[in-house]
Amino acid sequence: MKTILIVDDDVYIGDMLEELLTKENYAVGRAYSGTEALMYLSSRRPDLILLDLMLPGLSGEELLPLIKGIPVIVVSAKAEVSDKVSLLLGGAADYVTKPFDTSELLARITVQLRKNDVPESSDILSYDTICLNAETRAVTVSDTPVRLTQTEYAILKLLMANPSQIITKSVMLDRISEDTPDCTESSLKVHISNLRKKLKAVNGKDYIEAVWGIGFKLNEEL
């Protein structure tokens, strides 16, 4: 479930947005000031932020440059083109003017989350002591080469490209289908079990975590 942080001191608008997003099956976080938003982000990482500009204490304009790696949609009553241009150049992913149409806002949220789901293209992926070279398809753990099957490699590459996300079984099968069309839901667990054993055999670390009833993710508690 994707989490969206609403940063707005207007309780009425915040409540309306929370109700709307909850109905769309998003988890929702709330912050009523820029300072409170920073405190929230110090311990949690939402998938997207809806940011008002007129906030008590730390304003939205001051908060925006401090947010790294999370798409931010500015939701503000400021309608001047110069304001929009400045904020978009300053790091905002999108800008929605109040009052807004809820269906349009939901569509803009969907677009940003979809963009964020696409991993950045890179020949080298790394996680802890694992290194994966997408060009040569070589995988090492603690500088020790690990031989993987085509399916095991595709699974590991997907997990490493999305290190903080839980990948559901259906999404995993869909994403790796181009490389491994023969992998099925019944054989997926076997492939992942074999992959875990091969990685763990090098240094004893269990890199892949099964999230019961949902899917798999990289273990963050190494």
d(CA 58, CA 62): 6
Please check the confidence at residue 118 and state whether its pLDDT lies above 70.
no
Whether residue 18 is predicted with pLDDT greater than 90 in this model: the reply is yes
Q: What is the pLDDT of residues 154-209, one digit of tens each?
A: 999 999 988 888 899 888 988 888 777 778 888 999 999 999 999 999 999 999 99
Distance CA 163, CA 210 (A): 14
Neighbours of 182 (CB within 10 A): 8
pLDDT attached to residue 48 = 96
In this structure, of 31-40, 114-123, 134-143, 168-177, the range with the lowest mean pLDDT score is 114-123
pLDDT at 217: 93
Instruction: Decide: pTM greater than 0.85.
Output: no
Are the beta carbons of 112 and 129 closer than 8 angstroms? no
User: How would residue 115 be classed by pLDDT, with cut points 50, 70 and 90?
Assistant: confident
Q: What percent of the chain has pLDDT over 90?
A: 64
Give the pair of three-digit tokens for residue 168: 């559901």
121 has a pLDDT exceeding 60? no
How do residues 46-94 score in pLDDT, each as one tens digit?
999 999 999 998 999 999 999 988 999 999 887 787 878 888 878 899 9
First to last CA, the chain: 24
pLDDT of residue 122: 59
Ordered strands of the 130-133 beta sheet: 124-127, 130-133, 138-141, 144-145
